[in-house]
Structure 1
Amino acid sequence: MSGLAHAPGTTPDSTLGSTPGSTPGSTPGSTPGTPRAAARVIGGDEEALAVAAELAGRFSLRAAERDARRELPVAELAELSASGLLGVTVPREHGGADVRSATLAEVVRLLATGDPSIAQIPQSHFVYVNVLRRQGTPEQREFFFAEVLAGRRFGNAQSEAGTRHVQDYRTRLRPDGDGGFVLDGVKHYSTGALFADWIPVLAKDPHDRLVAAYVPVGAPGLTVVDDWDGMGQRTTASGTVRLEGVRVPADRVVPHHLTFTGPQLHGAHAQLLHAAIDAGIARGALTEAAEFVRTRSRPWFESGSERAVDDPLTIQRFGELELAVRAAEALLGEAGRVVDHARARLDDETAAMASVAVAAAKAAADRAAVEVTNALFEVSGTRSALDSLNLHRHWRNARTHTLHDPVRWKIQHIGRYALTGTPPPRHGLI
């Protein structure tokens, strides 16, 4: 790990070295408003899916190498920004495609089949676009949606270490006496922050209410530390964000606490994308396992087969794994459709249905990702364990990403809903 720390939008000190995978003197993020290659504006769902499939194919080519070297995907994220995919959830009245939730989930799933680290980086981006849709003022939406359509990226600074639980926030937003605010706090697991143009920060205001403050990179007092050392999802740069007296204008603060005062899809939307990443990991691993068996594996001598692909026990296991992946993909698609239905007529009932459908998809995708990435070695044989092949990145990615939001609690909520009709809670994580 590099241990590199710098304020986004500034050149890292040469004595500390450069960001892994980047050109010395370059930075992953850029200051909002600075020139950047024009981003494509995608017109609709089918175009979004076609662009995602094309990018996934290209991103897959060096995914194993990037993981092995922990080479951050700076060029790939620039390509993602230019592709227009980051703007596909912007409402049509602001110039975006406003794609269906089912389409967005499939976009993320496709990207994850190529490189799940790249797919995870914009997950928070889409979440915080959604926060603006729900609680932003007309002026905030006009400004930030234009930024998004220009290819600007949102990161995140939400989770904190050492607190009582995941929704216990110590970061505080306090008045500065001039009509604005000052932010102080430390955030961890800040996926995408190192590559961001804007970093939405979750904090408590003076009334202990949850707010989201959108902070530009390069803001004085804001530091992003590249200290992520997870065994999987290695190139997400999910490191630390430090905020020391960061000034925030009032028009960059969104009252996120209002999201949870009535029926909401914030949690369903966010969790749908996490489920898509897991489903993509499973499909990508199974595809690579099949290619390995076709081209590099030997049959077990007792099978009597000339080729590994003709071994009946191998065929049986691939059938079982394909069923698991198809089930996860089907539940993901169904969850997306239920979320879209709830978007069209949001009330307590449709919000509950959406949360339960997404919980089911997440549980299935979680299990498929871990099972398939583990079984990859079982069906491929001893040679597949060679470190030089880096096939173990699939299991490391699955095991790391599925630690998001424990599935055992999702199954509890599914069970209560099935037995008694009790709706899931409105805490935003289901």
Structure 2
Amino acid sequence: MAAHVIADDAEALAVAAALAEGFRANAGARDAERGLPRQEVDRLSASGLLAVTVPAAYGGADVSRETLAEIFRLLAAADASLAQIPQSHFVYVNVIGRQGTEEQRAFFYAELLAGRRFGNAQSEAGTRHVQDIRTRLEALPDGSYVLNGVKHYATGALFADWIPVLARAGDDRLHVAYVPRDAPGLTVVDDWDGMGQRTTASGTVRLAGVPVPADRVLPHHLTFEGPQLHGAVAQLLHAAIDAGIARGALSEAAEFVRTKSRPWFESGFETAAEDPLLVQRFGELAVRVRASEALLREAARTVDTAGADLTDDSAAEASIAVAAAKAHAADTAVEVTSALFEVAGTRSALRSLNLNRYWRDARTHTLHDPVRWKIQHIGRYELSGTRPPRHGLL
């Protein structure tokens, strides 16, 4: 696969904006028909966007986290499912940067620059909680490994070249095994049945005796033994997706009111867009969306600042800033996607228009991890300076 190599942050943002414009046109139809976006994902790869966090020393653009968050926001405003697909990709690129050997970095960064994609196989169903990982990475006498287990919510795996698998080794500590999509014993099942994020193909990955060479395994448990930004970056991208959904829904609502809505007869105006009650509501919603976008930018800059001087304190500040952005964006996304129908009126509920995809996407995506726990950590930090935990979900 040939891929363009993006030079810098400005080019990355320009490419993302152009792609988002193209993806927006058929987003509703893809969702309605659950048409998996294979061609669109191929365009993402070919554009070079999936390699923008590769360090400059290895030939990448090494863009800021602020730029990365904006890329996701732009994509999500156009198609939230498409934006969700590469979220885990960038998370597991980060794992290579933090825990990979020089040889592993050189190999995988070259793969990324060539347009290769990472999926994910981390979450499991039926366990006690989200961090109860039961997939096993068994060491063999020759130093290689074998993987066994079942993963769910494996967003991006169906489109991936490499599937990073979160597993516990014999010492019960977490590792990530990077497995080729066509590895023997690995099966990806397209059985995702969510009401929203319908085209993410977040199905099941089955691992039955999958062979893994020693140099494809990274010690992920080490990520959490010191100050880290693993969780902050992952959650920053989730926040960007929520902020993007909110902006996309607000823009759709405004266009609908300008071009399709009739004024309420009591308003006395010729167009719905002149109705002062609608104007007021749009103003309120716009304030919410702008606040989410501002918190997202602030959080991203805080992550960038922490990355330049990573300490327990700077990592904590980054996690809290991201938690605040995510909590606000999640609430905003659900509110604005619901309000779309309030301001657009009866016709907006027609199934043929499929405007409910914004709400379905927001409601589904914001269930990823509970905002209430983020608020708890923010409150403790504010009251007593208690740093948030290093579990990777904050």
TM-score between both structures, scaled by the size of structure 1: 0.91
Of 110, 114, 138, 1:146 maps to 110
Aligned to 2:344: 380
Match of 1:88 in 2: 52
Q: What is aligned with 2:85?
A: 121
1:350 paired residue number: 314
Aligned counterpart in structure 2 of residue 256 of structure 1, from 212, 220, 227: 220
- The residue that corresponds to 1:409 in the other structure is 373
Match of 1:337 among 301, 315, 330: 301
Amino acid across the alignment from 2:266 = E
1:291 aligns with 2:255: yes
> What SS is found at the alignment partner of 1:372?
helix
After TM superposition, the structure 1 = structure 2 runs for residues 73-84 of structure 1, keeping only pairs within 5 Å, are 73-84=37-48
CA offsets 1:256-300 (integer angstroms, 9 cap, x no match): 000000000000000000000000000001000000000000111
Q: Which residue, 84, 91, 94 being the options, matches 1:130?
A: 94
2:149 to 162, 185, 189: 185
Amino acid at match of 2:152: H
Whole-Å Cα distance in 1 between the matches of residues 339 and 140 of structure 2? 56
Note if 1:309 corresponds to 2:273: yes
User: Counterpart of 1:242 in 2: which secondary structure?
Assistant: strand
Does 1:239 pair with 2:203? yes
- Is residue 2:383 matched to residue 1:419? yes
Within 2, Cα distance between the matches of 1:368 and 1:48? Answer: 26
Q: Which amino acid aligns with 1:328?
A: S
The structural deviation recorded for 1:175 is 1.2
Match of 2:167? Answer: 203
Residue 266 of structure 1 aligns with an amino acid whose one-letter code is H
- In the alignment, which residue of structure 1 is the partner of 2:243? 279
Q: Which residue of 1 aligns with 2:20?
A: 56
The amino acid across from 2:187 in the alignment is T
Hey, what does 1:364 align to over in structure 2? 328
> Which stretches of structure 1, 4 residues or more, deviate above 3 A after TM superposition?
none
Q: Does 1:66 align with 2:30?
A: yes
Q: 1:157 aligns with which of 117, 121, 128?
A: 121
CA deviations on 1:151-172 (whole Å, 9 max, x unpaired) are 0000000000000100000100
TM-score normalised by the chain length of structure 2 = 1.00
Q: Does 1:224 pair with 2:188?
A: yes
Q: Please list, as runs of the form range in 1=range in 2, the aligned pairs for 1:1-40 lying within 5 A after superposition.
A: 36=1, 38-40=2-4
Shift of 1:177: 2.1
Between the aligned partners of 1:297 and 1:41, the Cα distance in structure 2 is: 44
Pairwise CA RMSD of aligned residues?
Answer: 0.4
Aligned counterparts of 1:422 and 1:327: Cα–Cα separation in 2: 26
- The aligned residue for residue 392 of structure 2 is 428
Deviations 1:294-327 (A, max 9, x none): 0000111111111000001000000000000000
Cα distance in structure 2, aligned partners of 1:340 and 1:175: 37
Residues in 1 aligned to 2:298 and 2:344: alpha-carbon distance in whole angstroms: 32
For 2:300 and 2:80, the matched residues in 1 are separated by: 19
Structure 2, unmatched stretches of 5+, are none
Q: For the residues of structure 1 that align with 2:207 and 2:141, how far apart are their CA atoms?
A: 19
CA distance in 2 between counterparts of 1:425 and 1:179 reads 33
Aligned counterpart, 1:10: none
Task: Output the CA distance in 2 between the equivalents of 1:329 and 1:414.
Answer: 19
- Whole-angstrom CA distance in 2 between matches of 1:87 and 1:120: 16
Q: Distance in 2 between matches of 1:52 and 1:365?
A: 21
Per-residue CA distance 1:104-133 (angstroms, 9 max, x = gap): 000010011111101000000000000000
2:137 maps to which of 162, 173, 185 = 173
Which amino acid in the other structure matches residue 387 of structure 2? P
Matched, 1:212 2:176: yes
Aligned-partner residue type, residue 38 of structure 2: V
Q: Residue 336 of structure 1: CA displacement?
A: 0.3
Name 1:24's counterpart in structure 2.
Answer: none
Quote the residue 1:398 is aligned against.
Answer: 362
**SS of the residue 1:235 aligns to:** coil
Partners in 1 of 2:140 and 2:207 — Cα distance? 15
Count of matched residue pairs: 394
What is the SS of the residue equivalent to 1:378? helix
- Structure 1 runs not aligned, ≥5 long: 1-35
Partner Cα distance (1:298, 1:289) in 2: 13
CA positional deviation for 1:217: 1.1
Matching residue's letter, 1:92 = A
Q: Which letter maps to 1:413?
A: H
Identity across the alignment (%): 75
